[in-house]
A and B are shown apart, each in its own frame.
Chain A
């Protein structure tokens, strides 16, 4: 029984940022859309791209690249908006460079990326705890992000800058 549980693969919705493979738990994802036109919010931090209207529902759009300390996102044909379910937090989504496929990763391929091991540097690298785990895929590494931290990081940054 326990073996079955450990053998059950987790599904990750994966995408690419600057060519690197990132992913979030499939169960956290509500939808992936091509909608990238955002309405800017006044005085919002740089990571917040604005609001987007998906079939009448308003979602906050974050720039995942800036959250991860990369250069600001440039909207292309490949750019997609990944929306998260309400369980993750206030309705929001992140812009990604390119959507990849759904990866099923068995637990023995997942290595938990604990922020406590990096406690001495965590104050310097606050964004480290965005990373939940590392998936060891045969071709490359899958950086599993924790979407529940996204809004918190934005809030932290905003209070720090404020």
Chain B
């Protein structure tokens, strides 16, 4: 059932409906056939019986009527015709009765059989009597007799009467009546009267049917003829010709009367009438009674048949109603089942589509049917599969995106920490350079002091040189001055040592600064490398966004192909596309920012390289300072030695002014050298101070650059976090689609 196509189902349904309709039709036809059989039985058997009976009745009555007609008709031909008709009717009635018997015999109805037997018996009896009547009726003797009477006998009596009249006239014409004449006249009258009475007696004879009566009438007629014969002999006196003729006539009359009486004796008409009125009537009544009985039986049978047909009609009606109701119920049942089998899967498909619209892609329809609905469910399943595939791809992509974003966040964190380190280191450098600057300032102050001291040495030596002439007078003063010089020189020497220490310190600090600058460079290189990595990541994100965009486009195309069902997914695809565009934009933003960071980084590297260069310059300057200071220290030591010598020589000033002069000259030269050296120192220190200032400002630049880097890194971090957020949002959005792959991932 499940695997039938819809058409097959419909065909099945239609077939079942047709079968039920055919069942109804069959039952209806069957029942109608029963009703028909009943009615046919009623019509064919009962009605046939009734019709046979009534026909028999009619024929019988026709026969009786024809018989009466035959009896009544005076003409032989007509009578015969009626008799033939009556016989034919009788035969037909018998025939019908025989057929009725045959019909009843077929039904095996005892009462009817008996009744019909009685009827046939009665009919045969009536037929027999009818035969008799007809046999008599054909003869028509009375009528013949009457005709004989009214024609031949009448003619003869008329002739005789005329002869008697003539004789009468003959008698009366005679003027006189004699006795003979009177007697003759009297005889004539008597003869005439007899002649007249013959007619009436003959009629009476004909009319009478009894034997005695007839004999009486015959006797009377014989008497009358005798009288006439006797009277005629008297009457015909004198008329011989007529007498003979009259006698001949009279004998003719006698013959005719004999013939008539013979005919009348037969008396068929009256007998037939009597038979017709008595036996035939009785037989007829018997027949009619039998017919009435049969009719009653047949009416009873018809009534039974009617009741039966009514019962059959009612039962047929119930059958038809029951089968119709059963067929309708069965049809409804099958229709309900078929509808269920069609509607349920369709509902499942609709549920699936709704679930898909709601984002649940895990659901599948497991309809094991091969019909159109099954195909639809398969197609929906495959739609869900393809959506699941797409969504899974998107999920993978979004997972990749989230991973990349996490990577990016990690990298940006790394970058941030590195830039913080760089910043810290730059701050360290700045503090170191400040320290360097302060050291150099200290060194500058020391150098200035040294310069002042040298100047004072110079002035002192100049003064000494100037006062050499007055040395003698101012030997003590000289001694004092020399002591002053000696202490000054010691101070210078100690100052130089300080300067040397400071310079060494400076050199060490510069070295440290250089190392830090290198470290900063390395860090910034790392930063640059991270930027490149971020670039790669953003490229990957861009690629992912591009693919997501394409997937979203294809998803839109698929959704559009799906029509109304894909509308919800089209919206989701649009959202995914928007997200992909945002991802691409964010990635581009990050790339741009990374580019800025890299630019800043390059600038920082440049600055740090500058700083490094400057520090190297400072280092070399400090080296040169160190060299000069060493030279000065050496010079100062020499000055010290010279001053010592001078101090020693002061005692011997007198001994050798020239020596003093020479020593003063030396001193002067040395002081000049020292002054030159001090100036060198001062210049170098100034240079160093300038360089330190430069360093300081550069370091400041580095610090701002690293701050900018830090800021950029923070922005990168923010972007990465936003990207991460977008990735998560994308994941969440995609996560709305529950797919089976997700489950397996969870597991």
Q: Would you call B560 and A26 a contact (CB within 8 A)?
A: yes
Q: Is A96 an interface residue when CB atoms closer than 8 A count as contact? A: no
Q: Is the CB of B561 within 8 A of A102?
A: no
Which chain A residue has the least Cβ–Cβ distance from B549?
A99
The reply to whether the CB of A31 lies closer than 8 angstroms to some CB of chain B is yes
> Considering the chains assembled together, what is the distance between the CA atoms of A26 and B561 in angstroms?
8
Q: A residues 79-111 with Cβ under 8 Å of B?
A: 80, 85, 99, 101-102
Q: How far in angstroms is the closest Cβ of chain B from A146?
A: 18
Contact among A27, A32, A85 for B553, CB-based, below 8 A: A32
Cα A32 to Cα B554 in complex, Å, equals 6
The interface bits of chain B over 547-559 (1 if a CB of A lies within 8 angstroms of the residue's CB, else 0) are 1001001101100
A30 within 8 A of B: yes
User: B550 near A11 (CB under 8 angstroms)?
Assistant: no
- Binary A-proximity of B521-557 (CB < 8 A = 1, otherwise 0): 0000000000000000000000000010010011011
Q: Which of B547, B550, B560 contacts A27 (CB 8 A)?
A: B560
Give A34 to B556 CA distance when docked, in angstroms. 16
With an 8 Å Cβ cutoff, the count of chain B residues facing the other chain is 9
Q: Is A51 an interface residue (CB 8 A)?
A: no
Q: Is the CB–CB distance between A29 and B557 below 8 Å?
A: yes
**A99 nearest in chain B by CB position:** B553
Asked if residues A27 and B561 are in contact (CB atoms below 8 Å), the reply is yes
Contact partners of A11 in chain B: CB under 8 A:
560
The answer to whether the Cβ of A13 comes within 8 Å of any Cβ in the partner chain is: yes
Per DSSP, chain A at the interface is strand
Beta-carbon nearest neighbor of A13 in chain B: B557
A30 touches B557 (CB 8 A): yes
Contact indicator A102/B550 (Cβ below 8 Å): no
> Which residues of the other chain, A, contact B553 by a CB distance below 8 angstroms?
13, 32, 99, 101-102
Q: How far is the CB of B574 from chain A (nearest CB, A)?
A: 8
The winner among A13, A27, A32 for most chain B CB atoms within 10 A is A32
Q: Min CB distance, A85 to chain B, in Å?
A: 8
Q: How far is the CA of A34 from the CA of B553 in the complex (A)?
A: 12
**Count, A-B residue pairs, CB within 8 A:** 28
Q: In whole angstroms, how far apart are the Cα atoms of A85 and B562 in the complex?
A: 13
User: In the bound complex, do residue B554 and residue A102 qualify as a contact, i.e. CB atoms below 8 Å apart?
Assistant: no
A79 CB, min distance to chain B CBs, angstroms: 12
Expressed in whole angstroms, the Cα–Cα distance for A111 and B246 within the complex equals 149
Interface 0/1 of A18-32, CB less than 8 Å to B = 000000001101111
Across the interface, A26 reaches (CB within 8 A) one of B547, B557, B577, namely: B557
Q: Report chain B residues within 8 Å CB of A30.
A: 557
Q: Please name all residues of chain B whose beta carbon is closer than 8 Å to the beta carbon of A31 when the two chains form the complex.
A: 554, 557
Highest count of chain A CB atoms <10 Å: which of B547, B553, B554:
B553
B550 touches A32 (CB 8 A): yes
Shortest CB-to-CB span from A15 to chain B, Å, is 10
Q: How far is the CA of A162 from the CA of B107 in the complex (A)?
A: 100
CA–CA, A33 to B310, complex, Å? 84
Residues 26-64 of A, flagged 1 when their CB comes within 8 A of B and 0 if not, give 110111111000000000000000000000000000000
Interface-centre pick from A11, A27, A29 (highest chain B CB count, 10 A):
A29
Chain A: CB-nearest residue to B557: A29
User: B293-332 vs A: 1/0 string, CB under 8 Å?
Assistant: 0000000000000000000000000000000000000000
| B543 and chain A: residue at smallest CB distance | A77
Contacts of B577 in A (CB 8 A): 101
Q: Closest residue of chain B to A102, judged by CB?
A: B556
Contact residues in A for B554 (Cβ distance below 8 Å):
31-32
A31 CA / B557 CA spacing, docked (Å): 7
Report the separation of the CA atoms of residues A58 and B557 in the bound assembly, to the nearest whole angstrom: 20
CB distance from B217 to the nearest CB of A (A): 122
Nearest CB on A from B392, distance (A)? 16
Residue in A27, A80, A102 whose Cβ sees the most chain B Cβ within 10 Å: A102
Q: Is the CB of B557 within 8 A of A34?
A: no
Question: Inside 8 A of B561's CB, which chain A residues have their CB?
Answer: 27, 85
CA A87 – CA B577 in complex, angstroms?
27
Find chain A residues with CB under 8 A from B550 CB. 32-34, 80, 99
Contact with A along B573-594 (1 / 0, CB 8 A): 0000100000000000000000
Nearest Cβ on chain A to B390's Cβ, whole angstroms: 11
Closest to A33 in B: B550
CB contacts (< 8 Å) of A101 on chain B: these are 553, 577
Write out the residue numbers on chain A whose beta carbons fall within 8 Å of the beta carbon of B556: 26, 102
Closest A residue by C-beta to B560: A26
Alpha-carbon distance A32/B548, docked complex (angstroms): 12
Could you say which residues of chain B place their CB within 8 Å of the CB of A80?
A: 550
In the bound complex, what is the Cα–Cα distance between A108 and B672 (angstroms)? 102
Shortest Cβ distance from A77 into chain B, in angstroms?
Answer: 8
- The distance in angstroms between the C-alpha atoms of A80 and B553, with both chains bound, is 12
- Which residues of A (93-137) have their CB < 8 Å from a CB of B? 99, 101-102
Q: What's the minimum C-beta distance from B420 to chain A, rounded to whole angstroms?
A: 37
Beyond the given A32-B553, A33-B550, please list 12 additional residue pairs across the A-B interface where CB-CB is below 8 A.
A11-B560, A26-B556, A26-B557, A27-B561, A32-B550, A32-B554, A34-B547, A85-B561, A99-B550, A101-B553, A101-B577, A102-B560
21 contacts between A and B (CB under 8 A): A11-B560, A13-B553, A13-B557, A26-B556, A26-B557, A26-B560, A29-B557, A30-B557, A31-B554, A32-B553, A32-B557, A33-B550, A34-B547, A34-B550, A80-B550, A85-B561, A99-B550, A101-B577, A102-B553, A102-B556, A102-B560
Q: Which residues from chain A sit less than 8 Å from chain B, CB to CB?
A: 11, 13, 26-27, 29-34, 80, 85, 99, 101-102
Ranked 6 nearest A-B pairs via Cβ: A26-B560, A29-B557, A31-B554, A32-B553, A102-B556, A11-B560
